[in-house]
Amino acid sequence: FDQLSLPSGLFIEPKTQILYVSDNTNNRIQKRYPTGEIITAAGKADGTGGTTLDKLWNPVDVVADENENVLVADWNNQRIQFWKKDAKIGETIAGNGSKGEALNEFSYPSRVVLDSKKNIIVADTQNQRITRWSPTYDPKTSTGTIMAGGNGGGLNPYQLNNPFGLFYDELNQIFYISNHDSHSITQWVIGDHEARNIYAGIPGRYGNSSA
């Protein structure tokens, strides 16, 4: 279990100091204790991927709590999965497993964040939006609430452009969003209808200057 294949996301739980890694093409989440022990926290230890609840399919991000429960952005399964510590099967807590634009669906969720109220915040990459989901999930009725974007992909201040990275400053109620395809980082205050600032980069222009 000391090998990875295209690791994509990582998270260090501050109280336990356990490191969690999205082992993308091994279709699993690995966790490393401060002692150096490494075990599989979600998915199949042998790397088998799939669509059933005991499997993941190219997971790209992970977040965990102090009890070693994990939330996984299950990229190709279009869902967010919850795995309790030592569980052999996960539970869908956002999305319905279908790729789509409806508010109960995802189109390649890339980042997952938990706020202090246990709401689940997701970068819904190809739907060009950030959505928030209640911690109480009902597969028949639960939908996400659009918190940023949702106006198609583009370079306008009210649009995102394949948001892939997400940081939530809960104290100041601000999202910092990396727009993969516009080569920029935007600052979006919760409640606003468009980004206030381009925090880094020039939308639509890639380059390597540092000033």
pLDDT of 12-51, one tens digit each? Answer: 999 999 999 999 999 999 999 999 999 999 999 999 999 9
The pTM of this model reads 0.92
- Give Cβ neighbours of residue 102 (< 8 Å, ≥ 6 apart): 143
Does position 204 have pLDDT exceeding 60, yes or no?
Answer: no
pLDDT of 74-106, one tens digit each? Answer: 999 999 999 999 999 999 999 999 999 999 999
Confidence of residue 207 (pLDDT cuts 50, 70, 90): low
pLDDT of 156-173, one tens digit each? Answer: 999 999 999 999 999 999
Residue type, 115: D
Burial 50-79 (b: 16+ CB within 10 A, else e): eeebebbbbbbbbbbeeebbbbbbbbbbbb
- Give Cβ neighbours of residue 98 (< 8 Å, ≥ 6 apart): 78, 105
pLDDT of 170-198, one tens digit each? Answer: 999 999 999 998 888 999 999 999 998 66
pLDDT of 47-79, one tens digit each? Answer: 999 999 999 999 999 999 999 999 999 999 999
How far apart are alpha carbons 149 and 181 in whole angstroms? 14
Give me the mean pLDDT over the 134-155 stretch.
Answer: 93
How many Cα atoms are found within 13 Å in the side-chain-facing hemisphere of 25? 4
Residue-level pLDDT at 200: 54
Residue-level pLDDT at 124: 99
Q: Provide the percentage of residues in the chain whose pLDDT is more than 70.
A: 92
Distances from the Cα of 191 to the Cαs of 95, 107, 127, in angstroms? 23, 23, 19
Does position 140 have pLDDT exceeding 90, yes or no?
Answer: no
Domain with CATH 2.40.10.500 in the chain: 1-94, 101-206
Give the Cβ contact number of residue 33 at 10 Å: 13
**Quick one: 121 exposed, middle or buried, by C-beta within 10 A (0-12, 13-18, 19+)?**
buried
Domain at 1-94: CATH code:
2.40.10.500
Sign of torsion over alpha carbons 189, 175, 80, 14: negative
Confidence of residue 138 (pLDDT cuts 50, 70, 90): confident
Q: Which fold has domain 101-206?
A: Thrombin, subunit H (2.40.10)
Residue 95, Cα to own-chain centre: how many angstroms? Answer: 12
